């Protein structure tokens, strides 16, 4: 496996320049991962397949879905791609590499864990600030146009928000100057995570069922359903920041209430069956 990865990377750096790989390669890899992982959730909403796992009963209209896709294409080419090109010299200055040998998996894993922790901290405060009245009204309300999210809505946002919260995603790599492969792996994981938490579905195989403190779709869907002043659940990937600062109280109370209600129903059914 290692030899295959090494030879594949050798092919890339032989046929493409560092600029092409770092900017265009990163952009089109992002587009592929984002749309391939996000479009299935749009299809599930349209066909109503696996609807028993859908968190909300409501569905977005076809027009709303088409609007989301058209805006995303505009934002990706008009905002994301230029930012990648402009930030290339910064990554270069901070030590980004594309050459062989590739970093060890231990180095890659250590850096990505650091990125997740740092991103969670910065994103939490940035997201919470976006829920102040003026910023919500003029910026963040664009993202909340979709009270019933589906995978692709994860990156549907005002251009100012794309830049503002995008800082949380890139600050870790900027600080460490990783190998481009590490940057790509981080980007893929981050895209898959944000698509999943906006999927609108909670499956038995959802990541949140297996990783403690991972928020997942159910945690973030609650955030989209409520008014901006009462939503809470501001975290990006993990839930510890909301727990520490008490901004998940409403969500936890709701879960406790549903659990108590379900247990009460079970007791009633058992009692009637006696």
The residue range of the domain holding 78 is: 2-273
pLDDT band, very low/low/confident/very high, at 232 (cuts 50, 70, 90): very high
Contact 15, 109 (CB under 8 A): no
Report the helix count and the strand count for the chain, using DSSP H and E. 12, 0
Exposure on the CB side of residue 239, measured as CA atoms within 13 A: 23
Contact 120, 40 (CB under 8 A): no
Bond into 101 cis (ω within 30):
yes
Mean pLDDT, residues 110-121:
97
Considering its fold, how many domains does the chain have in total? 1
Output the pTM of the full model. 0.93
Q: What is the mean pLDDT of the chain?
A: 93
Say how many Å lie between the first and final Cα of the chain, rounded: 60
d(CA 238, CA 252): 15
Residue 268 clears pLDDT 60, i.e. is over it: no
Residue 271 clears pLDDT 60, i.e. is over it: no
Which has the minimum average pLDDT: 56-70, 139-153, 197-211, 246-260?
A: 246-260
pLDDT at position 3, please?
Answer: 85
Residue 228 clears pLDDT 80, i.e. is over it: no
DSSP string, 188-201: HHHHHHHHHHTSSB
Give the Å distances, CA to CA, from 208 to 50, 70, 74, 107, 163.
Answer: 18, 30, 32, 25, 28
Residue 197 clears pLDDT 70, i.e. is over it: yes
pLDDT band, very low/low/confident/very high, at 159 (cuts 50, 70, 90): very high
φ, ψ dihedrals at 179, nearest 5°: -70, 150
pLDDT at position 258, please?
Answer: 83
Mean pLDDT, residues 57-79:
96
């Amino acid at each position: 496996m290692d030899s295959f990865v090494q030879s594949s990377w050798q092919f890339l750096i032989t046929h493409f320049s560092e600029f092409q790989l770092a900017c265009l390669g990163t952009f089109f890899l992002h587009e592929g991962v984002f749309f391939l992982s996000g479009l299935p959730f749009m299809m599930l909403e349209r066909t109503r397949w696996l609807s028993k796992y859908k968190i909300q009963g409501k569905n977005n209209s076809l027009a709303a879905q088409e609007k989301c896709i058209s805006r995303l294409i505009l934002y990706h080419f008009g905002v994301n791609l230029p930012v990648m090109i402009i930030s290339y010299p910064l990554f270069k200055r901070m030590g980004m590499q594309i050459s062989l040998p590739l970093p060890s998996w231990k180095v890659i894993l250590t850096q990505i864990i650091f990125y997740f922790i740092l991103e969670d901290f910065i994103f939490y405060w940035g997201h919470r600030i976006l829920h102040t009245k003026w910023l919500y009204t003029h910026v963040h309300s664009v993202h909340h146009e979709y009270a019933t999210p589906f995978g692709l809505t994860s990156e549907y946002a005002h251009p100012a928000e794309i830049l503002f919260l995008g800082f949380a995603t890139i600050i870790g790599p900027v600080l460490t100057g990783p190998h481009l492969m590490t940057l790509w792996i981080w980007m893929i994981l981050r895209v898959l995570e944000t698509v999943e938490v906006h999927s609108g579905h909670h499956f038995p195989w959802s990541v949140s069922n297996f990783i403690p403190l991972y928020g997942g779709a159910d945690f973030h869907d609650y955030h989209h359903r409520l008014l901006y002043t009462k939503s809470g659940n501001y975290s990006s990937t993990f839930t510890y920041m909301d727990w520490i600062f008490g901004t998940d109280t409403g969500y936890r109370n709701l879960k406790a209430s549903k659990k108590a209600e379900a247990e009460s129903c079970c007791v009633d059914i058992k009692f009637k069956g006696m």
